[in-house]
Amino acid sequence: MTMSDVPVGKVAVSAYTIPTDAPEGDGTFEWDSTTLIVCEIHAADLVGLGYTYGNQATAFVAEHLAKKCLLHRAALDVSALYATMLRQVRNDGSRGIASMAISALDIALWDLRAKLLGHSLVDLLGPLHSSVAAYGSGGFTTYSNTQLAKQLSGWSEQGLKSVKMKIGAEPDADLERVRVAREAIGASTNLFVDANGAYDTRQAIAFARKFVDFNVRWFEEPVSSDDLDGLRRVRDHAAGVMEIAAGEYGYDSLYFRQMLEAQSVDVLQLDATRCKGFTGFLEGAAIASSFGYPISAHCAPSLHMHIGCAVPKFRHVEYFHDHARIEEMLFDGFIAPKDGELKPDRSRPGMGLIFKHHDAERFLAWRNK
Ligand SMILES: [Mg+2]
């Protein structure tokens, strides 16, 4: 058998529900746990690892897709396997949970491909850079001002050049929280805010004007990311002062194209764990590049650092507190930012991550047979 014929053997799919270390919330949602869905694709004696964060139902869909579309097929035929999975979910809806299931499997296929060929994922993709900038992200609306100040200043002291906080849960408290954050991090760290779509357009424009006093550089989802016209109006008012960002709920390239055609954002956010894996991320990055826009990766820092090194106009990876904590706890090979940068270890095959089954077992919610 040649390398190109190596078939997909077993596909193990599992879901783990991990409590947060404190209550977490943003402008439109609160949570006290996060579910990690892990896909491990076996071929020859290697295992490709992929994951996403989402509803446990994602694991059921991933198992179904693996059985229908991947088992016994050539593991290196990533584009063909991707196309087969996409066709398979047509009647279920290709966005949302189905897209997250495809994402975890596509990421595992890329990881496996790199391992079969004996490369790190960065080297398989072909790097533009050896590291990418990371920004600290948390500052939950459920935090006291003391917790907020401690977390953001901690990242700043660790060398991260930018930090992001949540706003919008209690608009009356937002200006004071932003003031507390700015005071905690000092003048030299960039301050980002994320409303997760909590404001209406007039409110968001009014806040954008006030945030100027605290030198806020990035205003994420000031209004719902489905409201492309509202985003564009906020962007017009904030032009040249702060950037508008959105895209984390994008599941395919048509969504990204429409967002950019509507001139709704300054920076497009892409999430490989939602937008159909590295294959979908590369499509999204190409679209952003065709419009001349920079991109930023949403969450899941351990996998985004790899693709971030390999695509043009890549701004930074979101070092999200919740995910960084889980990835550090459950992935051998986890890398923390150093001097504000995430640098993949290119001496390790694939993404360089090994899932710690034993440590994860206490969080197990579901696994396939
Ligand atoms: Mg966000």
213 dihedral zone (left: phi>0; alpha: psi -120 to 50; beta): alpha
The string over 168-180, giving b where at least 16 C-beta atoms fall within 10 Å of a residue's C-beta and e elsewhere, is: bbeeeebeebbeb
Q: How far is the CA of 286 from the centre of ligand 1 (A)?
A: 21
Per-residue pLDDT at 347: 98
Name the burial class of residue 367, with classes exposed (0-12), middle (13-18) and buried (19+) by CB atoms within 10 angstroms of its CB: middle
Nearest by Cα to 12 from 112, 114, 125, 117 = 112
Contact 138, 127 (CB under 8 A): no
The pTM of the full predicted model, rounded to 2 decimals, is: 0.98
Q: How far is the CA of 332 from the centre of ligand 1 (A)?
A: 27
Fold for 123-342, please state it. TIM Barrel (3.20.20)
Q: How far is the CA of 83 from the centre of ligand 1 (A)?
A: 29
Render 74-133 in DSSP notation, one character per residue.
Answer: BTT-HHHHHHHHHHHTGGG-SSTHHHHHHHHHHHHHHHHHHHHHT-BHHHHH--S-S-EE
**What's the farthest any 2 CA atoms get from each other in the chain?**
66
Q: How far is the CA of 193 from the centre of ligand 1 (A)?
A: 9
- Sign of CA pseudo-dihedral 173, 174, 175, 179: positive
Per-residue pLDDT at 50: 98
Per-residue pLDDT at 369: 86
- DSSP-assigned beta bridge partners for residue 191: 163, 216
Cα-flanking dihedrals φ and ψ of residue 341, to 5°? -120, 145
CATH of domain 3-118+356-367: 3.30.390.10
301 dihedral zone (left: phi>0; alpha: psi -120 to 50; beta): alpha
Per-residue pLDDT at 240: 86
Contact 229, 203 (CB under 8 A): no
Alpha-carbon distance of 36 to 17, in angstroms, equals 6
Q: How far is the CA of 8 from the centre of ligand 1 (A)?
A: 35
Q: What is the DSSP letter of 250?
A: -
- Other C-beta atoms closer than 10 Å to the C-beta of 332 total 11
Per-residue pLDDT at 3: 87
Q: How far is the CA of 100 from the centre of ligand 1 (A)?
A: 17
Q: How far is the CA of 249 from the centre of ligand 1 (A)?
A: 9
Torsion angle in degrees (nearest 10) through CA of 253, 258, 261, 266: -80
Per-residue pLDDT at 289: 96
Q: How far is the CA of 299 from the centre of ligand 1 (A)?
A: 9
pLDDT digit of tens for each residue in the chain (369 aa)?
Answer: 788 899 999 999 999 999 999 999 999 999 999 999 999 999 999 999 999 999 999 999 999 999 999 999 999 999 999 999 999 999 999 999 999 999 999 999 999 999 999 999 999 999 999 999 999 999 999 999 999 999 999 999 999 999 999 999 999 999 999 999 999 999 999 999 999 999 999 999 999 999 999 999 999 999 999 999 999 999 999 988 999 999 999 999 999 999 999 999 999 999 999 999 999 999 999 999 999 999 999 999 999 999 999 999 999 999 999 999 999 999 999 999 999 999 999 999 999 999 999 999 999 999 998
Q: How far is the CA of 236 from the centre of ligand 1 (A)?
A: 20
Q: How far is the CA of 196 from the centre of ligand 1 (A)?
A: 6
Contact 24, 32 (CB under 8 A): yes
Q: How far is the CA of 109 from the centre of ligand 1 (A)?
A: 27
Q: How far is the CA of 141 from the centre of ligand 1 (A)?
A: 13
Per-residue pLDDT at 184: 98
Q: How far is the CA of 18 from the centre of ligand 1 (A)?
A: 20
Q: What is the DSSP letter of 311?
A: S
Q: How far is the CA of 297 from the centre of ligand 1 (A)?
A: 10
What are the CA-CA distances from residue 313 to residues 235, 276, 286, 342 (Å)? 20, 20, 10, 16
Alpha-carbon distance of 220 to 241, in angstroms, equals 14
Q: How far is the CA of 272 from the centre of ligand 1 (A)?
A: 14
- DSSP-assigned beta bridge partners for residue 25: 30
Per-residue pLDDT at 191: 98
Per-residue pLDDT at 348: 98
Q: How far is the CA of 136 from the centre of ligand 1 (A)?
A: 12
What is the domain partition of the chain in residue ranges?
3-118+356-367, 123-342
Alpha-carbon distance of 146 to 191, in angstroms, equals 17
Q: How far is the CA of 168 from the centre of ligand 1 (A)?
A: 12
Q: How far is the CA of 26 from the centre of ligand 1 (A)?
A: 9
Alpha-carbon distance of 282 to 301, in angstroms, equals 16
